Chain A
Amino acid sequence: MAVKTPAPNDTTSTDRIEKRVVLRAPRTRVWRALTNAEEFGTWFRVKLEGAFTEGRPIRGQMAIPDYEHLTLEMLIERIDAERYFSYRWHPYAVDPAADYSTEPTTLVEFTLEETNGGTAVTIVESGFDRIPVARQAEAFRMNDAGWTGQIKHLERYVA
């Protein structure tokens, strides 16, 4: 899951994606944007039905052009007022005909901290190592360096 030009605060590995952003908004405002299901849906672009409740699933239709046929389901894990919010979901659940319910989920965590003039949000998504498609993608990526080199040799050979 390599990002081409990662910011200094971003780290990725085969199992987790981590991002840190500093937002010029009060912590209370950011907290509401993350944990109010309607507000979350506005910026994430999903029409969620209901509210976020610890231990409860919530679902909604994606609102991104070309992806409206997809349903997103989140299982809310923890809501720790103005500090920490986490849920589980199925990453890459992009095939409407597939049943992802038996596949492992990844954990998405938002951690908030007050900073000078704003709020720092750390987003971590982890658990990719147990996801079959992510393992395949990783195997694919690891092979890539070898392929690229060999394909260059081949191109020189046939030129």
Chain B
Amino acid sequence: MSRNKSAAALQLPDAVPLFAALGDATRLRLLGRLSAGGALSITRLSEGAGVTRQAITRHLHALGDVGLVRHARRGRERVWDLNRERLDRAKRYLDQIAAQWDDAAERLRAFVEDQE
């Protein structure tokens, strides 16, 4: 959990809004569609989503605020794309959480074995 070790992963306070942004079924579906389809316009992303374009726009901005997606111009339309680097960092953060008990168990080992 030292700064060096976690430099490549997300810092803990940074991860909270990211996971909060993921806590929504529509937003998870949007990420799935962007992953499968590359950069897409809001019109395409609204197809079959069961919610309005305005709602899709709001969800995309929520994902954009935490850096998971970004938008660009493609000709006359605005398209949204996945930010791969941010996703990879989030994955590393999850691995880090799982590793915390490993670290704690090793500190316990050092603590009780060194005093023998």
User: What is A's interface to B at a CB cutoff of 8 Å?
Assistant: 1-4, 12, 17, 19, 21, 23-25, 29-30, 33-34, 39, 42-45, 64-67, 92, 94-95, 98, 121, 123, 125, 132-133, 135-137, 139-141, 143-144, 146-147, 150-151, 154, 157
Contacts and interface: CB of A to CB of B under 8 A. Distances in A.
Interface of B: 1-3, 11-13, 15-16, 19-20, 22-23, 28, 31-32, 35-36, 38, 82, 84, 87, 90-91, 94-95, 97-99, 101-102, 104-105, 107-113, 115-116
Nearest to A139: B28
A103 to B, nearest CB: 13
Interface residues of B, dominant DSSP: helix
26 contacts: A19-B105, A21-B105, A23-B108, A23-B109, A23-B112, A33-B108, A33-B112, A43-B104, A66-B11, A67-B12, A123-B101, A125-B101, A136-B20, A136-B22, A137-B94, A137-B97, A139-B28, A140-B94, A141-B91, A143-B31, A143-B35, A146-B36, A147-B35, A150-B35, A150-B36, A151-B82
A24 B113 contact: yes
B95 A4 contact: yes
Contact of B98 (A17, A43, A121, A132): A17
Given A2-B98, A123-B105, A133-B20, 12 more contacts: A12-B98, A33-B112, A43-B107, A43-B110, A66-B3, A67-B1, A136-B20, A139-B22, A140-B19, A143-B35, A146-B36, A147-B35
A99 to B, nearest CB: 13
A142 B116 CA distance: 44
Nearest to A92: B97
A94 B97 CA distance: 12
Nearest to A20: B105
A107 B93 CA distance: 22
A151 B110 CA distance: 43
Nearest to A98: B16
A143 B32 contact: yes
A137 B95 CA distance: 11
A43 B23 contact: no
B13 A94 contact: yes
A64 B103 CA distance: 12
Most chain B beta-carbon neighbours within 10 Å: one of A23, A65, A144:
A23
A34 B104 CA distance: 12
A29 B112 CA distance: 7
A123 B107 CA distance: 14
B66 to A, nearest CB: 12
A128 to B, nearest CB: 10
